[in-house]
Structure 1
């Protein structure tokens, strides 16, 4: 992540640098929000919610299965945007590698209050 408000980031180059799945990387800050990228491949993201924050998903590459509690799952394709409202229990997965961009408040824990093998602290997401 850059600290200079005038630094440009190439998302395609940043995706190529991602070597781990389920490990969001912060690539920019906008006001009180982080812009993150991540790769998903499989079904390791646990059911979770974010009590006080909405979460924006934008599909950069591939497709993502979005599951919301009490609703039918749906598939997001490259170019799709969806906002998970605060307090909605959700999980994501993919059958093949998928690259996503997330916009989340700086206070958002990427697996909510659920601690799992993929949970990363904000400090680890800045590296």
Structure 2
């Protein structure tokens, strides 16, 4: 599988696409630009962000916000309230449990069901 080719198939921002499965986790690709991701929590799951291109601003409650760049990886531990944004288009690979909801318990205009990510 070629990740650059898979990213070309993604035409919408904030719309993760499942590209594979390993045991009980999904491997997803997503493109974002802007700040539409709401503050949210994954109470029972960690969430791994690997930046394929661009930069991602990560905000984690009670911590300084920080930027991760192309090639960087960050894991948001379960139970941490967080949100992400990007001034310019950012391509991200996510590794998440199959039960992880896109925007945690928060539902807004960008929330996608797990079924719609396939």
TM band (smaller chain): over 0.9
Which segments of 5 or more consecutive residues in structure 2 lack a partner in the other structure? none
Matched, 1:113 2:105: yes
Question: Helix, strand or coil: the match of 1:79?
Answer: coil
Q: TM-score, normalised by structure 2?
A: 0.99
Q: What is the CA-CA distance between 1:77 and the residue it aligns to?
A: 0.3
The equivalent of 2:81 in structure 1 is 89
Distance 1:14 1:67 in 2: 27
Q: Which runs of 4+ in 1 moved over 4 A?
A: none
Match of 1:71 among 59, 63, 69: 63
Which segments of 5 or more consecutive residues in structure 1 lack a partner in the other structure? 1-8
Q: What is the CA-CA distance between 1:110 and the residue it aligns to?
A: 1.2
Q: TM-score, normalised by structure 1?
A: 0.92
The equivalent of 1:54 in structure 2 is 46
Q: What is the CA-CA distance between 1:14 and the residue it aligns to?
A: 0.6
Q: Which has the larger radius of gyration?
A: 1
1:35-54 matches, within 5 Å, as 35-54=27-46
Q: Deviations 1:77-105 (Å, cap 9, x if unpaired)? A: 00000000000000000000000000000
Distance 1:10 1:64 in 2: 22
Q: What is the CA-CA distance between 1:17 and the residue it aligns to?
A: 1.0
The equivalent of 1:21 in structure 2 is 13
